[in-house]
Amino acid sequence: MIPEVATPAAEQPPNGLVQDSSMVWSSLGPSNADTPPPEEVNEEFFHASHLEPLAPVSAAEPPLVAVIGVGYVGLHLVTVFASKFDVLAYDVSKKRLETIADELSTYPSITLTSNPADLARATHFLVSVPTTLLPDKQIDTSFVRSALTTVGTYARPGATVVIESSVGVGMTRKLLGNLMRSRNLKAGMSPE
């Protein structure tokens, strides 16, 4: 049986990673289709004084795969990876997590959560959030950028971050390049 949906009972992660969680979301500003986010995720945010250093991922620790976004594609990723690894299924929607909890109850290796602080335990991140088209036919990557802000806040040095969401050619480099170099993370793309 799957543990209950984890809830942000404590505003602070147990290891004191973030002092003020409101700062995580304020870094990108308001998100709407008429005002696309900046070209790159601002890695300066991830070095802000409100964050404490994170212990690097160790090759000796067992993998913990965090799937960010458990819609149609993310849910499939969760079940496939759960056959071999422990999986953290993260979504900002508690309602979505409640909806899929029964379906995933036969997978003891899956933990559902809407608390971003739980992501600090992950060794691998699969970002699977919606990408839609803007009225001018450009890809709206605001959900991806928001997810990467969360991942960048909690990912430990040495973690692997893979964008599963559909983005344009070269966009992975734009979205993750500076963050990967400055935080010693590994990047990849595996579009749905």
For residue range 70-121, what is the model confidence (pLDDT) as tens digits? 999 999 999 999 999 999 999 999 999 999 999 999 999 999 999 999 999 9
Residue 10 lies in a domain: no
What confidence category does residue 51 fall into, taking pLDDT thresholds of 50, 70 and 90? low
Domain that holds residue 119: 60-189
Look at residue 40 in the predicted model and tell me its pLDDT: 44
Q: pLDDT tens digits for 160-180?
A: 999 999 887 788 888 888 888
| CATH number of the domain bearing residue 154 | 3.40.50.720
55: three-class secondary structure by DSSP:
coil
Residue 3 lies in a domain: no
What confidence category does residue 42 fall into, taking pLDDT thresholds of 50, 70 and 90? very low
Chain-centre distance for alpha carbon 171: 17
Question: Based on the structure, what is the number of domains in the chain?
Answer: 1
Look at residue 38 in the predicted model and tell me its pLDDT: 41
Task: Choose from 3-17, 111-125, 140-154 the range with maximum mean pLDDT.
Answer: 111-125
Residue 184 lies in a domain: yes
Look at residue 7 in the predicted model and tell me its pLDDT: 42
pTM above 0.85, yes or no: no
Helix spans in the chain (H): 22-26, 72-82, 94-101, 142-154, 171-183
Question: Is 17 a residue whose pLDDT tops 60?
Answer: no
Calculate mean pLDDT across residues 18-35.
34
Q: What is the DSSP string of 144-170?
A: HHHHHHHHHHHPPTT-EEEE-S---TT
CA distance 43 to 149: 9
Residue 173 lies in a domain: yes
Residue 149 lies in a domain: yes
Residue predicted with more confidence, 25 or 120: 120
Residue 85 lies in a domain: yes
Residue 140 lies in a domain: yes
Residue 160 lies in a domain: yes
